[in-house]
Amino acid sequence: MAEEKLFVRKATGLVREIGALTAIIIVIANTVGLGWQKRVFQFTGLAPLPENQWLAGIHPMVMAFIIGGIAILLSVVAIAVLSAAMPRSGGGYVVISRILGPIWGFVGAWLEFFSISWSFGIIAVAVFEGIYFIMGPIAFGSSFAPPGGISGDWFLFAVGLVLVIIFTVIGVFGVKLTGLLLQVMFWIPAVLTFYVFGLLSQASSTAITTGMANLLKLPSGLPATPDNYVAAATNSTLLGSGVIQNHVAAGGYWGAVAIAIVGAYFAYIGYAASTFVAGEIKEANRSLPRTLLIASIIIIALYVSVSLVASSALKGIAVRCVVGNTVTVGPCSGNGQEFSLLSAWSYLSYNGVTGVSLSAANLPTAKLWTTTLAGLSASGINLGSANWILVIFGVFWIANDIPPFILTASRILFAMSFDRVLPAPLANVNDRFHSPINAVFVTGVVALLGCFSESGLFDGGGSLNAGSNAFLSAALGSSGGVELTDLFDATFFTLFTLSLLFLPIMASKRHIFDTAPYKPGGKGGMILLGAAGFVANLVIDGFLLFAPAPAGDFDLLQIGRQVTNPLVDLWALWFTIIIALAGALIYLYYKQVSKANYATIFAQIPPE
């Protein structure tokens, strides 16, 4: 009697070449990228809150990173226990499909694959956004412009496409070469981070004022001052109803925190990146829990500290007090709303209010990033000639996201194909480089979605949406990728942590429970950890779905709000449902085509 064929072959063909240090770097590099360099300023601008209303002087974004960090740690503990029990490539796909069921594993991982691949394209474009539109003015004294005759959105798409192609080709050569490249791309900005923290610590009022005078010029040619920004943000004659005091976050301090948690979660995406390449990590069943926790603690500490230092550096500079329609210079002596350079510049950079911008306020167009602040501080203490270092710092922290994207997304496809729920060629592994080359190429192709969205080609008035079609703008516009990747990722990790809650109580999974190397607290302890991780993810889901709207209605699904056009306003929900249903149909199709005994396949952990 012929032996029943379960998996594509008896061994994966992948090799355990990733050491503990590289596993930590994969998580940190995948997570720390674009968001943390501007997040504290971005969500100060989107949901401004008078600075005299902060709880115990803690910025809402700092609090969001603390609360989000606690949720991430609870999730990481649950994920670490599960990944140690099933250290296979594909990570959460293998775990969910073996515990909750194959269709749940497929649909959850299908969404996560799109989340990671879409982010790949977003970050590829964002590398050049940082160089051309944010860091240029601070490092080199002026913004760069695309070559003549090329629109800005097409230029960004083109350079993003080039980076996608380059890194996709590199990914073909496997984890060894990709890991070496990642080491270089990680350690350069990691070392420079100490230099940036040093500059932030020297960002006094005098240094910032001097730096602005040196680097930023008003349209009149005069040096920009902190007072110019705060005066413009609170000036109703200049901005009309778009002044900052009219767009204060709903719900006060905790309303601002709720909105900021959406940004914090996006910044934390990638915290479990190494689990997807667990089948290529040395002694993964022992090292994964330790490396995941170390990486997560480093990330949380970095996010909280840089947000705290950066916000503190600008808070209190050029303060104005707003009482009704009256604006006075200086702190409020009684009731009133206090705004400083921190709130004003952030608001004018990221408010999302139609017609309100830095250029509309007759100010330099350089937006506020951590690198912007560091560059001003450097110029103010006579280190401005070294500001080109900040370009390397900023760009490398963005670009080093990309190698982990290639590894993690392609291994999801590989694991699905190895289980025979996707075409078998996606499980092909190059004998020389031990890389699933077809899965890598498909990841690069899907990344083009991110290039389209981040470049702005489909934004209202963009080159591919000149008629400003509302649905196209919502579905494929520049804010769409952030919202979708949040939703896809949150769905996947909610299922991932739920798996630990069910594992100890399912008799049919007793063999997985018995062989797990870590059983903290035994059966009861694992159930408790699973419940904690699951609830933490549900809380994050709630913020993504129901957080109050900021001024610009930015990247929030807000199911609970009153919508005027459900097709457009709730597009991310419909798009998520469509992608999930498409995944379910693909699973059901291949279940029939492969003629495989799925009951047997998904009762086993894949071979190594």
pLDDT tens for each residue of 306-320: 999 999 999 999 999
How many Å apart are CA 413 and CA 105, to the nearest integer?
12
Instruction: Answer whether residue 143 shows pLDDT above 80.
Output: no
pLDDT at 305 over 90: yes
Q: How far apart are CA 135 and CA 93, in angstroms?
A: 39
* pLDDT of 3 strictly over 80: no
In a domain, 391, yes or no: yes
Q: Would you state the pLDDT for residue 146?
A: 72
216 close to 223: Cβ distance less than 8 angstroms: yes
Q: What is the pLDDT of residues 409-463, one digit of tens each?
A: 999 999 999 998 999 999 999 988 899 999 999 999 999 988 988 888 887 777 8
pLDDT score of 54: 95
> What is the reported pLDDT for 59?
95
- Token pair 């539109």 in the structure block, residue: 133
Residue at 5 is within a domain: no
Residue 562's pLDDT band (boundaries 50, 70, 90)? low
Residue 324 lies in a domain: no
- 103, part of any domain: yes
Instruction: Determine, yes or no, domain membership for 166.
Output: yes
Residue 202 lies in a domain: yes
Exposure on the CB side of residue 347, measured as CA atoms within 13 A: 31
Which tokens is 318 given? Answer: 């050029």
45-78 tens-digit pLDDT: 988 999 999 999 999 999 999 999 999 999 999 9
Within a domain: residue 593? yes
Q: How many domains does the chain have?
A: 1
Confidence of residue 195 (pLDDT cuts 50, 70, 90): very high
Q: Give the model's pLDDT for residue 2.
A: 44
Distance CA 29, CA 245 (A): 38
Q: How far apart are CA 116 and CA 409, in angstroms?
A: 6
- Report the mean per-residue pLDDT for the chain: 88
- What is the helix (H) or strand (E) element at residue 321, kind and residue range? strand 320-323
* pLDDT of 134 over the 90 cut: no
pLDDT at residue number 391: 85
Please give the pLDDT value at position 558. 63
What residues does 89 pair with on adjacent strands? 277
Q: Which whole number is the average pLDDT over 463-492?
A: 76
pLDDT at 1: 37
Name the least confident of 451-455, 465-469, 598-602.
Answer: 465-469
Task: Name the most confidently modeled range: 32-41, 93-102, 174-183, 460-469.
Answer: 93-102
Given a cut of 70, whether residue 243 has pLDDT beyond it is: yes
* AA identity, residue 282: K
Mean pLDDT computed over 336-361: 91
Look at 196-210, 349-363, 438-452 and tell me which has the smallest mean pLDDT.
349-363
Q: Tokens in use for 278?
A: 């667990």
CATH number at residue 189: 1.20.1740.10
Q: How far apart are CA 264 and CA 190, in angstroms?
A: 20
Burial class (CB in 10 A: 0-12, 13-18, 19+), 531: middle
Confidence label for 552 from pLDDT (cuts 50, 70 and 90): low
Range of the domain at 123: 20-227+242-314+335-601
For the chain, the first-to-last Cα distance in angstroms comes to: 25
With cut-offs at 50, 70 and 90, classify the pLDDT of residue 554.
low
Instruction: Name the one residue in this structure whose structure tokens are 């979660």.
Output: 265
347 pLDDT exceeds 90?
Answer: yes
Percent of the chain with pLDDT over 90: 53
Is residue 7, in this structure, part of any structural domain at all?
no
Determine the Cα–Cα distance for residues 171 and 182; give it in Å rounded to an integer.
Answer: 11
Cα separation, 61 vs 261, whole angstroms: 7
